[in-house]
Amino acid sequence: MRLQLTRSFRLGVAVLLSSMGPARAQSSPGDLAVSATTAYGSYADTDHVFVQTPSVSGVVSNPVAGWSVGGQYLVDVVSAASVDIVSTASGRWQEVRQQGNLDASYKPGTLGVAASAALSDEPDYLSWTVGGKITKDLLEKNLTLLFGYFHTHDTAGRTGTPFSVFSETLTSEAFKGAATVIVNRATLASIIGDVVVESGNQAKPYRFIPLFAPGTYVPLGASVDLVTRLRVAARPIEQLPLSRDRFALSGQLAHRFRSSTLRLEERLYLDSWELFAASTDARYLFDLGRRVETGPHARVHLQTAVSFWQRAYIFGPGFSYPQYRTGDRELGPLVNVTGGWTLRVGVGPPRDPNAWVLGFDADFTSTRYLDDLYVTERASGLLGISLEANL
Amino acid sequence: MRKRGATSLLLATGLGGGALLAAFAASCSFPSSDARTLQTALPDESTFAPVAELLSVRCGSIDCHGSVFRNLRVYGSTGLRYLASDRPLSPLCNTCEEDRQTYLSVVGLQPEAMSEVAMGADPSILTMVGRARGTEAHKGGQVWSEGDDSDVCLTSWLEGKVDSADCKSGVNAALSPADPSDDPLLACFSAGCAAR
């Protein structure tokens, strides 16, 4: 069962894992560099959703020859009793998702190519992605251009029901273009554009939308009991447009001070469902000696609702239903603020303290849902611990 | 100079991208917020009473669909009563309002698919049909089998030619195995719903 909140959780895990990254390569020219990471993420929120995510990853590369091969495997163990589940008189459920990724890249000179594949499996959802990127260094490597394309194919079903009996398909074509500039010896700036064209049914097969008689007032954050009392008997399944085009433009700036690093990112997003979002992300890491790197992380995200969003949809005379209807809070207007802290400790031998790095990450997010049933705010925490090694 | 050129190019790219995003926002037509779907084709409400009786007995206990919290609500004299003043089996038969509410819930669960079925599509595209047959996962397990009396009762009604005898047999099968023909609920098939 796909969670209402899964998207934000996965984004958090992705940020966590990417911030861990492989340990810094220490290879001599011509040597193979081998790094491995094991990590554990733990998510909890006030909507009674808990996710445990152990993962392992590894990279083998030859920095001089310019190639690398890597892979990652992770497991999400989800336990949930969120209001969306409780509101349909269902109990807590547990589920396991597994995901594997493979990446390979080759960049012998100024031109580089990379390919990747990912497979994600859970009882009611199968997703695979393949894609690649081309990079080209220009202006004596002061400018790097990137173009990427990824194809994703998702099959969504219902837990316990074979895909042959019920399934929906969603495909997406994702295009990425980026330009990265070395502004000066200590500053890097990037502009990234993303276009994703999605086709298929994205409605959740478990999500049914309460409808109300015309003139019924349903307050913000109305409780499950109140919604149940006010709604009409007809409660139709979620219905969303069958295509969605997404556009995002991001700017990133990273600056290395004498003993610290600042990274800023601004992302603007718009899609063909009229959802507009802006995200601002800042991360500051400072060195405490040779072994310790630590610092804060902050993020603010604001978004408007999709054009067909309504807190309380109306069941009209003559069996009239809203053509599009959703209860997905991620499609409604919301604001969330994240604050976090990162600590990375080099625990390697004195000659190379960062050959082994122990990492700790903690992020806490407060989300306000501005026009929703059941929930008006949610607090969530994501804790991560990792061990990275150059073998 | 090369760094400056690269930086200028980056700024131009960013501005160009922003302009494209703004142009898209200005030119795009978004899904309408007030677009409505009219359920023009519906199964016959006037012949729903025997189906409502079957659903009430087979699916409407208060720990199953006889709960107002369920997406599919089933009202009836053996479970969820529409009026707070009514009690289990008192009145003995479903009231007309209970049948009406169950009907709304049944046809409103998958309105688009329900209209397709009312226009001749295979009833098995409906989740409630698949769940009752056990071909789709159902918390309450398999309730009946494809082709048996209860299944025929529901699907024949969906196809516009309800077989009341099958509905009665379906209820019969769920009543006391000792002598179901004596069960007073069976009288509801001839009495019809009680107007309140």
pLDDT in tens, A47-89: 999 999 999 999 999 999 999 999 999 999 999 888 877 777 6
Q: Which single residue is written with the structure tokens 């779907």?
A: B37
**Lowest mean per-residue pLDDT among A8-17, A197-206, A339-348:** A8-17
What is chain B's mean pLDDT, rounded? 87
The partner residue sitting opposite B104, judged by closest CB among A139, A189, A233, is: A233
Residues belonging to chain B: 196
Q: Residue A23: what pLDDT? A: 42
- Using the predicted structure, report yes or no on whether residue B129 has a pLDDT greater than 90: yes
Q: Which residues contact A323 (CB under 8 A, 6 or more apart)?
A: A239, A308, B31, B32, B35, B36, B37
- Using the predicted structure, report yes or no on whether residue B115 has a pLDDT greater than 70: yes
Q: Residue A29: what pLDDT? A: 53
**Lowest mean per-residue pLDDT among A186-190, A214-218, B25-29, B81-85:** B25-29
Q: Residue A187: what pLDDT? A: 97
Distances (CA, A) of B178 to A86, B166, B181, B183, B186: 38, 20, 9, 10, 15
Report the Cα A388 to chain-centroid distance in Å. 22
pLDDT digits (tens, 9 = 90+) for A91-103: 778 899 999 999 9
Distances (CA, A) of A238 to A118, A302, A327, B188: 28, 24, 7, 36
Q: Residue B10: what pLDDT? A: 66
Q: Residue B177: what pLDDT? A: 65
Q: Which residues contact A14 (CB under 8 A, 6 or more apart)?
A: none
Closest by CA position to A73, among listed A105, A104, A36? A36
Q: Residue A10: what pLDDT? A: 47
Q: Residue B181: what pLDDT? A: 67
Chain B residues with beta carbon closer than 8 angstroms to that of A323: 31-32, 35-37
The token duo for A174 is 């994702």
Q: How much of chain A exceeds pLDDT 70, in percent?
A: 92
Nearest CA in chain A to B105: A234
pLDDT digits (tens, 9 = 90+) for B71-87: 999 999 989 999 999 98
Is the minimum CB–CB distance between B195 and chain A shorter than 8 Å?
no
Asked whether the ipTM of the predicted complex exceeds the cut of 0.90, the reply is: no
Q: Residue A24: what pLDDT? A: 45
Distances (CA, A) of B145 to A72, A74, A229, A357, B153: 45, 40, 34, 60, 12
Is the minimum CB–CB distance between B1 and chain A shorter than 8 Å?
no
Would the CB atoms of A321 and B24 count as touching at under 8 Å? no
Q: How much of chain A exceeds pLDDT 90, in percent?
A: 87
| Helices B164-174 + B49-59 axis angle, to 10 | 20
Calculate the CA dihedral of residues B62, B63, B69, B75 and round it to 10 degrees: -30
- Using the predicted structure, report yes or no on whether residue A16 has a pLDDT greater than 60: no
CA dist., res. A41 & res. A39, Å (int): 7
Q: Which residues contact B5 (CB under 8 A, 6 or more apart)?
A: A139
- Using the predicted structure, report yes or no on whether residue B176 has a pLDDT greater than 70: no
Closest by CA position to A254, among listed A241, A244, A264? A264
CA dist., res. B89 & res. A306, Å (int): 47
Q: Which of B1, B4, B7 to mutate to test the interface with A (most CBs of A within 10 A)?
A: B7
Q: Which class for B84: exposed (0-12), middle (13-18), buried (19 or more C-beta within 10 A)?
A: exposed
The partner residue sitting opposite B38, judged by closest CB among A159, A237, A318, is: A318
CB contacts < 8 A (A, B): 155
Mean pLDDT within B52-75: 95
Mean pLDDT within B58-70: 94
Residue type for B117, please?
Answer: V
- Surface of A (310-349) touching B: CB under 8 A: 310, 315-316, 318-324
- Using the predicted structure, report yes or no on whether residue A25 has a pLDDT greater than 50: no
Is the minimum CB–CB distance between A306 and chain B shorter than 8 Å?
yes
Confidence at B101, pLDDT banded by 50, 70, 90: very high
